[in-house]
Structure formats: structure tokens, C-alpha cells
Chain A
Amino acid sequence: MSETVPIVHVVDDDMSFLTAVSRLLKAKGFSVKTYSSAHDFLAQREADAPGCVLTDLWMPQMNGLDLQSALAQTPHPLPILFLTGHGDIPSRDRAMRDGAEDFLEKRDPKEKLFDAVTRALARDSRDRAARAGRQ
């Protein structure tokens, strides 16, 4: 299996923020794909491709937490990062308990965002290596 460039999958129903955050990540050198809903992402994702998910917590129909559990049930889960307008302790606790890489606020410093994404990609790389070892 050839090594491909890891992709940061950004999911947010707010098009404006979606565009802005993908611009920033691209400017930093990440490869980015954007989705306006969790369903879109699940339908379009390439199974077993390297990357991580950066998702908005509150979205209509399927929210971030729903996406997290849906993703966990797939054979190739991806590390997941949450973004939210403002802190929400119960949701944060639940997300972290279920294995989220991080829980960020939308206006957190960009370095924090970059670090979290870098960590998530590194973890994905480790997870993939572990999965490959098991096979």
C-alpha cells in the first residue's frame, strides 16, 4: 500500500468558518478537504486513507458526537478533533472519554490548532502502523 499524503477532513455546517479554517490549515501546509455535514464526510471518505477529522460540535441532523461514534464503528477510524463556538463541559467530557484527540474552541490560538492537528496525524500514523502490524 503506497504512502499517501494525510488529509485533514474539516466538517462544519457554517460555510464561512469552514472556508476560513481550511485556508489557514492549507497556508500552514496541511492538505485539507471540507464537508458541510457529517453525512457528506462519511459518504465521501476514502477508507483507510491517512488523515484526521476536525469537526464542529453542533450541526443539524448529525452532530460532532454522532460522527465520533459513527466513525468509531468503522474498520478504519480516524482521530477526531472537536471545534466549538464556546466551551460546553458535558459534551467535552463525553467526547474526550470516547477518545477524541482534542476539544478546541473556534477562537483558540492557531498554534494550539496546528499542534492538535499535528498530534492527531501522528497518532493516525501510529494507529495505522499498529493495524498493519496486527494484520
Chain B
Amino acid sequence: MSLITIIWSMSASACLTLAEINLVVWCRDRKAWANLLFSLTATFTAAWTFCELWMMRADTPREFAYVLRWGHVAVCLLVVSLVVFTRLFLGAGRAWLAWLVCGLRAFLLFPNFLGGQNLNFREVTRLGHMKLFGESVTIGEGVPNPWILLGQVSLVILIIYLADATITAWQRGNRHHALTVGASVVFFVLVATGQSLLVFYGIIRVPYVGSVFFIGLIIVMGYELGSEMLRAARLDRKLQVSEAGLHEIEERMRLAVEAADFGIWARDLVNDEVWATDKWRALFGFSETERLQYGHVMERVHPGDREAVSLIMKNTAEGHGSGALEHRLILPNNQVRWISSLGRAEFDASGRAILIRGISQDITERKRAEEETQNLRREIAHVGRISMMGQLASALAHEINQPLGAILRNAEAAELFLHNASPDLDEIRAILADIRRDDQRAVDVIDRMRRLLKRQSLDKRPVDMGKLIGGVVGLLRSDAAARQVKLQVAVADDLPPALGDPVHLQQVLMNLIVNGMDALDDANGEERRISVSASAAGAKAVEVAVSDSGRGVPADKLTDIFDPFFTTKPKGMGMGLCISRTIIEAHHGRLWAENPKEGGAAFRFTLPIEEKDASP
């Protein structure tokens, strides 16, 4: 067998082998269109290679012309499949150029079959012979077909199309494929086309050996596709591994979610849809199959919380990116449920929120416990205040009887004056003014009583401690006298106003004084005295002290007495000092107890003074 036969046959069979492999790949994966197109390109290359070999071995001009005619069919199909492959593999190339090339090649089959013996020759008149690799091969000679010019134009357009696609792919960053496949396709097509032109115009005298260059093309293409397949296989293996990992993570997640009793949800902002797990649906009282929209969910939210929920959704979507809140639900059976929800938004490339994902949890039990604690705390504070009030009720009754008594006596005096023949009208006017003033005094006493009983928050303002102490001592005077306790007051001159809530501070002071009186009941000392003093403590605070002449506080109990429910009295709640300290601390002050050298106990508290503007 000759060398030429061996080379061309081997080339053709190499092409067919690659074609078969890629066909199998396409059969397994019908989306691998590049492999199918490569398979076709390789098959038609093999076909053209056979044609070339046949032509080199042709015995008659007629036989040569016949083979060349059918060879053009192979070339046409080769060009079309190469064009489509390039477009698929590089994802580039102008569509109109592709259509033009394919259309031209298809059109040229008409002159190939109808305008003479084939596209190259109207008629092959004789066969020439020449030496190739030391062998004699046949070359066709005859009358050229003018349509061949259009064929050559179509090949030039093909090269332009391929070059353009390659450049586009390169610019898009697909540099590896542009360089290996694009550039080599352009190169080999250019060389093959150039060779056929040189042969046709008789510039070189060789047979058609374009297939040799096409083999190069096929090898490069095959190598690249093979690498792709290998990479895909590797990716596939990796994917399997990571899928296993993903499954594991999902499983763990599911366990965690179940353990934490979380419901998971996602709100699609674009399509207004809500996806949720069965657990979440159960929490919100929806069935497992119901189609959900945001509006349906909001209907379940307690009307009092809807605004807050909408606001946090809006904030999450419009910038914060995440949000959390606790809110109530009203279920269809009117049951109220507390929910804690947490959400995070996902944004598209333009920064618009498209999805909010989140979890929700039932916190009804926790809320109930919290509320109970809160109520208990409020109750205790109130009870403490009431018991203080019990001791103060008589003091207040006394206080209110003062203005009422004055009103009565004034009115009676006025009546007597009016019995006179010429009543002193100025005196009566003065009486009426006094009655009016005493009426206001009575109202003030009642208001004070009400404020003391009310549960209100701190309303801080500058407080003249001298006045405040005077007021409280005034209220307690009758009680103190009845218990034979002397109340002494000593307020430093020019004491700056303290910053605090007068109502609360009154309570603290009353509590401390009443405690002192209780302590004196237990003591047998001859002097029963409570002194209340107020003085400056440094430049920024006022110190108030309530000292008694009792037995003092046992040294080891000086701190315990402030604990809740600590009491030494049979009827005591043990809340007074605890509440008092809470109030003073809420004022940023300090309340403590000590046993002074001169005997008895002293309760002292500090209060910040009103900050004055430092600048002159």
C-alpha cells in the first residue's frame, strides 16, 4: 500500500473515530449540541478526505470530475457544521454572516450539479500526473467553471465570520477558547482555502490536499471538546460530593428547625407570594395547601401590631436588610398567639429587594410568663404604696379638714356679719376670697392624694427639697404627735433644687419617716425624735438624711434591709425600703443606711441637682 493511501485513510479514520465518540456523547446528553456539530464536522472532513484520495487515484477525467462534484457536497456540509459549531462553542459570531456563508454554499450546489461537471470545472479535459511523497498522483485539468469565484468568495466570508466570532469571544473574556479553537479554526480554514486558490489558478501544481489542514482543525477541536468533557466529569463528581454535603446540611438544618420549633417563610416581593413550611402554616393557622399572599398573612396579625409589622417589613426591604420583632396574631378561633419573627432581605443587582426570608417562633408561653411577672411587680409596688398610704390616710384627712374647717368658720362669720344693720362689706369680701383660697387648698390635697396612689412614671423637674420635706412632714405631723414623736427639720440655706419627681420623692421620704416612727415604737429611749435634714453633697448633689433616736439597725443587716420582703415588723410587707431604693436609683441617686455615733439609725439618700449651663 502506498504512503499517500495510508496517510489519507488514517486521517479519515481518525476523523470518523472522533466523530463517533462525540456522537455517542451527544446521544447520552442531548443538550451537548457542540459535540453533535463537531461529530458532523469530523464526518464531512472524513468524506472530503476520501474524495481527495479518490481524485489523486482517478483513472479518467470523467471519474475525477464526478468525485469532485460529490466532494463539493461534503465541503458544503462541512462549512455549515463548522459555522454552527463555532457559534455554539464560542457563543459568538454574527448571525447574518453565518446565514450568508451557509446560504452561499448551499446555493453553489446548483452550479455544481447543473453548470458543468462540477463547481471547479465546466469540463475536466485531461488528467496530469505529478510526484507526491515519491508517488505519482493525478491532477485534474480543464475548462474552469466561472461560479468557482463565488465559491471562493464564500470561503473568504467564512474566514471573516470565524475571525469575527473569535475576536468577540476574546473580548468577552472567553480567551482560552478564542485562542485554541477560534484562532486555529481561522488558521486552518485560511490555509486550506489559500491552498485551493493557489492550485486552482495554477500557481502551484499539487493535488487538493486541504483535508490535511482540516485534520489539524479536527484535532484541535477534538482536544478542546475532550478537555471540556473531562472538566465536566470532574465537576460532576464534585457536584455529587457537594450534593451529599448539602443533603447533610439540609438534614441538620431540618433537625435544628424542628428542635427550635421554628417556622420558616419567604415572601416573594416581585410576585406577591408567600412560601412557608408546614410548621409556620400551623403557627399562623393556615392549611398546608393554601396559596398565601402577604395580605392573607397580615389579616392574621393582631390589628394593634399591624402597623409595626408593616413598618419593619418596609425597613427590611428598603435598606436595613434585616429586621426582627415580636407581635401578636389573632387566629381564626380568636385565640391570641405571640410570635417572634426574624427576617432578612435579598436584593437584585439594582439594589431592589426581591425576597424576604425569615423564621417565626411561638413565644406565647414566654410572653405570658413575662406578663405575669410584670403584673406581679406592679402589684407589689402598688401594695407597698397602699400600705404606706394606709398610714398616711389619717394625716391626709387631717390635712383636708384644715381648709374645710376654715371654709366653714368663714362662712359662719359672714352670716353673722350679715345680721348687722350695716355689714362690713370689705370684711365679707375678704372672707369670700379666703373661702375661695381654702377651697383650692382642699383640691390640692385631694390631687396630691391621687398622685400618690397613681402608678405613674418619673416626671423629673427641679425640686425644692426644703419645700418637699416641709410638705411631707406637714402630712405626718398628726401621726407623729399621736405617737409622741418629735419631728425636726433642718434644711441648709441656699440649697440648690434637686432633679426628681416630687411625687415619688415624697413617697420615699414618707416611707423613711414612717419607718423611723415604727423603730421608735420598739425603743424605750426617753427621747423620741426624728430629724429630717437636707444639705449639699458636693457641687452636684443634694443629700437628705432621716435620722431617728431609736436603737439603730443591727450592723449585719444594714444592707439586707433593702432586700425585697425583708421586714422586722409583724404587719410589714418588707417592700418600703426596696421600693424607696428603686425610686432613688431611678433618679441616679443612692440610698443607704448607717448607725451614727450619737445613736439611732440614719437613712440617707442623694439626688443629683439640676445641671446649670456652665457658660456665663
Contact = CB atoms under 8 A, between A and B. Distances in A.
B441 interface: yes
Contact size class for B?
20 to 34
B406 A16 contact: yes
Interface stretch (A1-9, A20-28, A45-53, A116-124): A20-28
Contacts of A20: 405-410, 413, 431, 434, 438
Interface in B405-438: 405-410, 412-413, 416-417, 427, 431, 434, 437-438
Interface in B93-136: none
B401 A16 contact: no
B403 interface: yes
Contact size class for A?
20 to 34
Nearest to B399: A85
Contacts of A86: 394, 397-398, 401
Contact of B405 (A27, A58, A85): A85
Given A20-B409, A24-B412, A85 B403 contact: no
Interface stretch (B297-305, B376-384, B476-484): B476-484
Given A60-B477, A86-B398, A17 B406 contact: yes
Contact of A88 (B404, B407, B408, B482): B482
A27 B416 contact: yes
Contacts, number: 84
A90 interface: yes
B541 to A, nearest CB: 28
A57 interface: yes
Nearest to A16: B406
Contacts of B481: 57-58, 63, 91
A89 B438 CA distance: 27
B contact patch SS: helix
Nearest to B405: A106
B595 to A, nearest CB: 27
B487 interface: yes
Nearest to B428: A23
Interface in A67-113: 84-86, 88, 90-91, 105-107, 110
Contact of A24 (B403, B413, B434, B473): B413
A19 interface: yes
A75 B407 CA distance: 37
Contacts of B413: 20, 23-24, 26-27
Interface in B232-267: none
Interface in B470-525: 473, 477-478, 481-482, 487
Nearest to B401: A85
A14 interface: yes
B227 interface: no
A117 B407 CA distance: 20
A88 B477 CA distance: 13
B520 to A, nearest CB: 16
Nearest to B394: A86
A35 B112 CA distance: 144
A107 B477 contact: no
Given A24-B409, A24-B413, A107-B405, A16 B434 contact: yes
Contacts of A90: 482
A55 to B, nearest CB: 13
A106 B403 CA distance: 10
A88 to B, nearest CB: 6
Contacts of B409: 17, 20-21, 23-24, 106, 110
A72 B487 CA distance: 24
Given A27-B412, A85-B399, A86-B397, 11 more contacts: A14-B406, A16-B406, A17-B409, A20-B409, A20-B410, A20-B431, A24-B409, A27-B417, A60-B487, A63-B481, A106-B408
Interface of A: 14, 16-17, 19-21, 23-24, 26-28, 57-58, 60, 63, 84-86, 88, 90-91, 105-107, 110
18 contacts: A16-B437, A21-B406, A23-B427, A23-B431, A24-B410, A24-B416, A26-B413, A28-B416, A60-B477, A85-B399, A85-B402, A85-B478, A86-B394, A86-B397, A86-B398, A106-B409, A107-B401, A107-B404
